[in-house]
Structures are given as structure tokens and as C-alpha cells.
Chain A
Amino acid sequence: MDFGEIFNEAIGEMVSPTTAAYALAALGLAVHFGYSGLLNFGQAGFMAVGSYAFAMSTILLGAPWWIGLLIAIVAASAFALLLGIPTLRLRADYLAIVTIAAAEIIRYVVTTNSLTKVTGSANGLAGFRQDFLRLNPFPPGNYLGYSSPDFFYRFFGWGLVIIFGLGVWLLMRSPWGRVLKGIREDELAVRSLGKNVYAYKMQSLVIGGGFGALAGLVFTLPRDVVQPANYGTELTFFLWTCLLLGGMSTVLGPVIGAMLFWVVLSLTQNILFGLIGVGALPWLNPSQAGQLRYILVGVALMLLMIFRPQGVFGNKKELAFS
């Protein structure tokens, strides 16, 4: 077993575009849940809306990348409004059920064979990043061990994470953010101060959903293919694990949480594979090793929630639930 290799791979996983996408989507969840107390269990749906909107506008309409981006954000905002209108006045768990159902509706609709021409059904859509790659400012070469486009995807993903992380940090220090936190703490009190709680919640839902859509792009552009199987409910639950791992009411929490999540997944995977390779685990086959990691994710989510609900960085006083 080569620990240097395993370690290197874990570090590589930490800065991969997928991790950036998880961080961005979890940041959206932090806006929803950590700061406003909204239970969004459909973040995978927002990511799917974003990536499909981009892919479809590029492939079907031949739109340039910035129009695709615009359409992705508009679509995600419309999705947020659609979800918010019926549920934001109801109890928190209704929003949870409606968002998870809506995300599944999206997944069923893009999977159906009757729309194969538009969505590519289960195979999805591929080949939509050429125009986006023209943005790449880096000439061919070696950047920290990555090729130019690979480095660009990381630059793009983590750039977005930094920009929006700062944005969230500033927003939550603003009066607007304080109202949001107030809603999280005591909705009735905020309402009695004459604030339109419904509108604030809606704005928060749209912003966090927009983050989800961008995360979908960060996730899907390096692959150049968008497939419905990637956007199941488990993606949402992994994002929640990232969020709760780092700390839900912080800006750094979801980002570090996503990094930790992927580092741990990569480490456990490679160490288990290494042990299987040297014959130390005769009762385990490689695909079971992969499944063992997700058992760990589930158990970790439970333990986190029970013993350290504020996560690694969070402040116990700032929990969206008590």
C-alpha cells in the first residue's frame, strides 16, 4: 500500500471541481437552512435544473455560454418560486417533503423516454462546454500538475465558491441577513416587527437555489455530460452531510465540510482498496468497499446530528433548531 499515493489522491479530491460543486451547493443549503431555517431537501433538483437548463440551451438553441448561464439561473429561480409559493407559509417539514418531491419530479421528467429528443433520457446530454472553454485564459501547459482546461475548471469552481462565500458573509452581516437570522430564531417575533417573513424566506430560497444551479454547472462542465442518475435524492443527502459536517450557520462550514467529505471518502476508499490488494480483508470485495464508505456517511450523519449538531466550525447558539 502506497500511503504517499493515497494521500496525494485525497488532496487531489479536496480541490476537485466536484468538491467545489458540493461546497457551492452546500453553501446554498447554508443560506436556506443555516441562516433562514428552511428545510430544502431538493438541492439536487436545483442542481439538475441548472445543469439541464445550461446544456439544453447550448445544445438545442445554440446559445453562447453566458446566455446558458443566465437561463440556468432564471430557471432555478423560477423553480424556487414554484416551490416556495405553496409551502413557505406551512410548517418546515412540508417544505422538506415538497422540495424532495419536486427534485424527484425533475429527475423523472428528464429520464422519461418520451422526451428523449429534448433531454436525452437516461443517457443525458453531452457536448455543451465548447463555448464555455473559450473563456479559458490559461495557455496550454502544466499548472500545479493539471492541464490547462483541468486547471480552469478548478479555477472556475473555486472562484465561484470564494466569490459567493464572500457574498454570503457580507449578506449575513447586512440588515437583510439579520432579519433572516431573526426569522430562523423566532418567526413570530420578526413578523410582529412588521417584516414580511414570507418575502424574506422566498428571497432566501431563490438565492440558495441559484447557488444550487451554479453548483450544477461546476459539477457538470468538467464532465461535459449531464445525466439524471447523478441528481437523485442521495446527492441532496450528501450535501446535507457536508453542510452539517462543517457547521450550518457559517460560511466556511459548508466549504470545509465538502472538502472533509471528499477527503474522507477518498481516504477510506483507497485504504480499503489497499488492504484488499494486500489480502488483509478477504471478506470484502472492491464494490463492497465502495458501499462500506456510504454506510459510514450515513452513520456519520446520524452521529453528527446527535452529538455535534453545530458541526466542526459551528456555534451551538446559532443552530437552526434547538
Chain B
Amino acid sequence: MRHIRTGRPACGPDRIAGLGQQTPGSTEVHIVNRPAPAAHPQRLVRALSAAGALIGVVLALFLALAPAAEATTSPSPAPSGSSQQEFPNSISGILRNAGQPLSGVKITAKGNGFEGSATSSPTGAWSISVPTQGSYQVTLDESTLPSGVKLAEGEKNPRTVVFAGTSNLSTIFAFGAGIVVHQPSFLESLLNRLVAGLSFGLLLALSAVGLSLIFGTTGLTNFAHGEMVTLGAVIVYTLSAIGLPFWLAIIAGLLSGAVFGFVQDAFLWKPLRRRGTGLVPMMIVSIGLALAARYVILFFFGGATQQLPGAQTEDIDLGVVSVSPNNLMSLLISAVVIALIGILLLRTRLGKATRAVADNPALAAASGIDVDRVIRIVWVTGGLLAALGGILWAYYRPGVTFNMGQQILLMIFAGVTLGGLGTVFGALVGSVVVGIFVELTTVFGLTSDLKYVGALVIMILVLLFRPQGILGRRERVG
């Protein structure tokens, strides 16, 4: 079986027999020279306009976000040094009333034979450095508060604070009459997580659809897909950091993903397919590519976490759920783009051709489909979708890092496997299930640093009981 070049990894002997006496490798039929049923330029134009429409829709949606995305540098809460002396230990905090920083408020700390005071900076931050760790009495001078601002009921002032092993101790004063710290009910947090999970799942689906299409058409399990995700976000960050308008940065980010997909296929995967390289070696090549690309990104981008414009926003309250506008936007963008992909796949000639190639490349080639061209388009689209997924992932986490793609690669795999390797709609369903599952586990008591474990366990369990996935077909499992 392993001699078939473009053959599906699992097509059984019966299928090979169906192809007649073809020698190994000849399944890569090139019908390019034969007059194709539909003229090429026409199809190309259609493909291009489809891609253009895709970018257009994404852009329109992002532009709707633009007001929130005016390049904001988040105020650094670095305290202005208003304490008299510098000691290794400090007591600090940030004073905020209804989101507004309170400046010029005097705070004193007394204890261990030391007395120090600080005045809060314009960002509301204050810090008093103290000579030794231990217990201190911290007093907020209420007469220095702006008029109309009061400490919340039940806030202790003065209060006693104790260092617990660390050199910095922070203490928060809450403001506002009658304010009680809000504890969301179970139902509320369930709904909130559900919306967040849907948003996460759909952004996973963007990358997963590309991965699944690539697997479906070439049989390659692409470990470098995570780096395609990272690339989109990194490009958008870099370009908007050097002052390009946000919309231009988004276009460039999406295009970079598409170009990366194109370059990969043109200079790496297509030659490898021509040579008849097996699927396992190609998988290992993709691992090498992932390592190389990840460290190239690290080389230029550095190890720090950066924020895209407008990454930090206040949640908006929609009655039953409160959701961050970025999550909501991300949800809408992914839903629209995925719907568009679905329409492209189901309604256009190109989509039909793609599905045919994914189903059986040899048969598709024999019926006049230019398999290589379809695969090229799949790589370009996959790269574009991965880049979009990466930009949304950067808002979801939030933050851009060189290994952000690696972090969700396994979630993407989980989504694809859950839905059924190689099926596009399976990847969509699987990703949404994974996304919601990941977020919901935190509601049901799992600590948030374990939330990805649940999805991975589910993936393994699904392989145990239904290896073909939710929408996959039995014959593909091998």
C-alpha cells in the first residue's frame, strides 16, 4: 500500500484493483495538457475572486473592530517612586475607582520600627519600599481621595498586611459605596464559558479546516501548521508596531499566511510528492520545518509576549452573558469565514474539485481535475485560514509569542481527529466541540492550567471507541 504516491494512506487493495494495472506512481496523472472541460483562466479567475472575497469579508469584519483597535499602549502600572528610600522589599497596589485610576492619594505603612509613605501616581499605582519583611500597618489617607470617592463598605482602613515569602506584597483597596465583590452564579459562568468556548472552537476550526483539507488532499499530517498560525499574528504585530495602519497589517498578515502556504507547496511539498516521498517521511519533514520556522520566528521576534492593538478591553454585558468584544468579534469573523468556506466547498466547481481530490486523488485526476492545482489552492487557503486563526488566537489568549502556534497545534489535531481526519465539516464540528470542552472543564472544577488536558483525553478516548471520528468514514482508519 505504501507505494501509492498520491493515494490515500488507507485505500485498501480493493481500491487499487479498481484502478487497474497502474504502476506505482502513475496515479499522479497529469491531465494538464488535455483540454479540460472548463477553461483554465476562467477557473483561476473564479478561484482568485473567491480568495479575494474571503480577504474582503475578513477585512470588513476587522474594520468593524477598528474603533477598539486604535493602537493602544496599555498603561504600564510601574509605580512612580515616591517613597523616600529604596529597600529590597515593597508594599504596593493600584488604586482604581470604577476603572478610573486615582492619583495623588497618600498611603502610609508603619511597622518594624519603620514608617514610610507614598502618593499614588497618575496610573493609580503606589509602592512603599520597606527595609524588612514582616507585618505592617497600611493606612490610606481618606482625606486625600478625590471628592465623591469613598472606600467600599467593609474595606479595612487601616489594615495589617504580612509578607509571605515574596519581596513584594500587594494590597488592594476597593472603592465605591455599597460595592460588594461580584461572584458570578454557576449558570452565569457556564454561559460565559460557553460563549468563550464557542469563540475558541471556531478560531480553532479556521486552522483545523486548513489542516484537514491538506490532509485530505495530500495525506500529509502537517506538524508545521502551528507555525503558519504564529506567522499571521507575528506579522500583524510587527507591521502595526512599526506604524502601519491596522487594516493594512491585517491584510499583510493574511497574505503572509497565504504566501507561506504557497511557498511551502511550491518549493517543498510538490517536489516531494513528485519524488514519491512517503507520508511518514513527509510528516517528519514537516516536523523539521516546524522546528526551523519556530526558531526563525524566535530569532527575529524574540521570546517576549507582545500585544496586538486593542487586545485589552472591558467585557460587555449582554444581559445573560458578559463577553469581551474581542471574543465576540472573533466569534463572528470565524463563523462568517467558515460559512464562506462551506459555501465555496459545496457550491463552486473548485470546491467540488477539492472534495473530489480529497476523496480519491487518482480518480479525480482521471476525471480531468488538475490535482496539483487543487492542492496548491488548498495550501494557499490553508495558510490564509491559519494566519487568520493565529490573529484571532492572539486576541483570545491574549498575546503574541513565537510558540503560540505550537500551543494550539495539538488542540487543532484534537479537533481534526475528533471530527474525522480529512473531513472538512468534521474538522469544524470537532474543533467547536474541543473549544467548548476546553472552556467548560474550568466551570466543572478543573483548574485552568489543566484545561487542555481534558480535550486531549477526549481525543484519545474517541480514538478508542470511534477511531474514524464523529463524521469520518470507517474505511479510512486502516
Q: Cα distance A297–B410 when bound, in Å?
A: 22
Q: Give residues of chain B (272-331) contacting chain A, Cβ–Cβ below 8 Å.
A: 272, 277-281, 283-285, 287-296, 298-299, 303
Checking B272, B281, B283, B295 against A294 with a beta-carbon cut-off of 8 angstroms, the contacting residue is B295
**How far is the CB of B7 from the nearest CB of chain A, in Å?**
13
A92 to chain B: which residues have CB within 8 Å?
Answer: 280
Tell me the complex Cα distance, A300–B456, Å. Answer: 30
B172 in the interface (beta carbon within 8 A): no
Would B292 and A299 count as touching, CB distance under 8 A? yes
Contact, CB under 8 Å: A237 / B457: no
Interface residues of B in 1-26 (CB under 8 A from A): 2-3, 9-10
A237/B414 in contact, CB under 8 A: no
Verify if B88 is at the interface (C-beta below 8 Å from A): no
**Are A302 and B292 in contact (CB-based, < 8 A)?**
yes
Task: List, in ascending order, chain B residues with CB within 8 A of A101's CB.
Answer: 410, 413-414, 456, 459-460
State the Cβ distance, A63 to closest chain B Cβ, in Å: 27
A86 to chain B, nearest CB (A): 4
Q: What is the interface of chain A mostly: helix, strand, loop, or mixed?
A: helix
Is A90's CB within 8 Å of the partner chain B? yes
Which of B41-49, B358-366, B447-455 lies on the face that meets chain A?
B447-455
**Quick one: given A93-B9, A94-B467, A112-B447, are A237 and B291 in contact (CB under 8 Å)?**
yes
Cross-chain contact of B456 among A104, A111, A288, A309 (Cβ < 8 A): A104
Tell me the minimal C-beta distance from B155 to chain A in angstroms.
Answer: 29
Is residue A96 within 8 Å, beta carbon to beta carbon, of the partner chain?
yes
Cβ A100 vs Cβ B410 within 8 A: yes
Give the distance to chain B from A229, nearest Cβ to Cβ, in Å: 12
| Chain B CB within 10 Å, residue with most, of A86, A114, A298, A303 | A298
CB neighbours (8 Å) of A98 from chain B are: 459-460, 463
Cβ-defined contact, B292 with A91, below 8 A: no
Contact A114 B447 (CB under 8 A): yes
- Near A by CB (< 8 A), chain B positions 436-452 give 447, 449-450, 452
Q: When chains A and B are docked, how far (Å) is the Cα of A162 from the Cα of B288?
A: 29
A295 to B2, CA, bound (A): 31
CA–CA, A112 and B453, complex, Å: 10
In the complex, what's the smallest C-beta–C-beta distance from A246 to chain B, in angstroms? 15
Is the pair A112, B414 in contact by a Cβ cutoff of 8 Å?
A: no
Assess whether B335 is interfacial by the CB under 8 Å rule: no
Query: Which residues in window 74-93 of A have CB below 8 A to B?
Result: 85-87, 90-93
Contact A298 B9 (CB under 8 A): no
Is A233 a contact of B289 with CB atoms below 8 Å? Answer: no
Which residues on A sit within 8 Å (CB–CB) of B457?
105
Evaluate contact between A322 and B278: CB separation under 8 angstroms: yes
Contacting residues, chain A, for B453 (C-beta < 8 A): 105, 108-109
Beta-carbon contact of A102 and B478 below 8 Å: no
A97 within 8 A of B: yes
Contact call B283/A295, Cβ cutoff below 8 A = no
Tell whether A152 is near chain B: CB-to-CB under 8 Å. Answer: no
* Shortest distance between the CB of B208 and any CB in chain A (Å): 13
For residue A234, CB closer than 8 A to chain B, the reply is: yes
Q: Cβ of A97 and Cβ of B280 under 8 Å apart?
A: no
CB closest residue in chain A, given B298: A291
A91 contacts B478, CB within 8 Å? yes
Q: Is the CB of B299 within 8 A of A291?
A: yes
How far apart sit A241 and B290, CA to CA, in the bound complex (Å)?
Answer: 13
Interface pair B289/A93, CB less than 8 Å apart: no
Indicate if the CB atoms of A298 and B292 lie closer than 8 Å.
yes
> A288 to B410, alpha carbons, bound, how many Å?
27
Interface size class of A (residues with CB under 8 A): 35 or more
Known: A104-B410, A108-B453. A321 touches B464 (CB 8 A): no
> B463: which of A94, A241, A298 is its contact (CB, 8 Å)?
A94
**Residues B291 and A294 in contact, CB atoms below 8 Å apart:** yes
CA distance A102 to B9 in the complex (A): 24
Residue A292, interface by CB 8 Å = yes
Given known A-B contacts A93-B283, A112-B447, A298-B292, A288 and B9 have beta carbons under 8 A apart: no
Contact A91 B477 (CB under 8 A): yes
The SS class assigned to the B binding surface is helix
Most buried by A among B221, B287, B296, B421: B287
Report whether A301 and B9 are in contact in the complex, using a CB–CB cutoff of 8 Å: no
Are A91 and B285 in contact, with the CB atoms below 8 A? no
| B207 in the interface (beta carbon within 8 A) | no
Contact A321 B292 (CB under 8 A): no
Taken together as a complex, chains A and B put the C-alpha atoms of A233 and B288 apart, in Å, by 12
B interface footprint on A265-308 (CB within 8 Å = 1, 0 otherwise): 00000000000000000000001100110110111111111100
Contacts of B279 in A (CB 8 A): 93, 321
Q: Is A25 an interface residue (CB 8 A)?
A: no
Most chain A CB neighbours (cut-off 10 Å) among B10, B272, B463: B463
A294–B272 Cα distance when bound, in Å, is 23
B406 within 8 A of A: yes
* In the complex, A130 has a CB within 8 A of chain B: no
Given A90-B467, A291-B299, A321-B280, also A301-B288 (CB < 8 A): yes
- CB proximity of B222 to chain A, nearest CB, Å: 11
Q: Which residues does chain A contribute within 8 Å of B280, judged by CB atoms?
A: 39, 92-93, 320-321
Q: Which residues of A contact B3 (CB under 8 A)?
A: 322
A96 interface neighbour in B9, B283, B303, Cβ under 8 Å: B283
What is the minimal beta-carbon distance from A239 to any residue of chain B, in angstroms?
Answer: 11
Q: Does A14 lie at the interface of the complex (its beta carbon under 8 Å from any beta carbon of B)?
A: no
Chain A residues whose CB sits within 8 angstroms of the CB of B295 once the complex forms: 291-292, 294-295, 298
Is A299 a contact partner of B288 (Cβ separation < 8 A)? yes
Query: In whole angstroms, how far apart are the Cα atoms of A295 and B459 in the complex?
Result: 31
B121 touches A (CB below 8 Å): no
In the assembled complex, A123 has its CB within 8 A of some CB on chain B: no
Checking B285, B299, B460 against A306 with a beta-carbon cut-off of 8 angstroms, the contacting residue is B285
Is A113 interfacial (CB-CB < 8 Å)?
yes
A41 to B78 Cα, complex, angstroms? 44
Within 8 Å CB of A90, what residues of B? 463, 467, 477-478
Chain A contacts for B278, CB-based, 8 A: 321-322
**Measured CA separation A111–B447 after assembly (Å):** 12
Bound CA span A321–B450, Å: 36
Identify the B interface with A (CB < 8 A): 2-3, 9-10, 221, 272, 277-281, 283-285, 287-296, 298-299, 303, 406, 410, 413-414, 417, 421, 447, 449-450, 452-453, 456-457, 459-460, 463-464, 467, 477-478
- A-B residue pairs in contact (CB < 8 Å), sample of 12: A91-B478, A97-B221, A98-B463, A102-B456, A113-B449, A297-B291, A297-B292, A298-B288, A298-B293, A298-B294, A298-B295, A321-B279
Q: Which residues of A contact B (CB under 8 A)?
A: 39, 85-87, 90-94, 96-98, 100-102, 104-105, 108-109, 111-114, 233-234, 237, 240-241, 244, 287-288, 291-292, 294-295, 297-306, 309, 320-322
Q: A114-B447, A295-B292, A321-B279 are in contact. List 14 more A-B contacts (CB 8 A).
A: A100-B413, A101-B460, A102-B460, A105-B453, A244-B284, A288-B299, A298-B291, A298-B294, A301-B285, A302-B288, A302-B289, A302-B292, A321-B2, A322-B278
Please list the 7 inter-chain residue pairs (A to B) with the smallest Cβ-Cβ separation, ordered nearest first: A298-B292, A301-B288, A298-B291, A91-B478, A302-B288, A86-B464, A321-B278
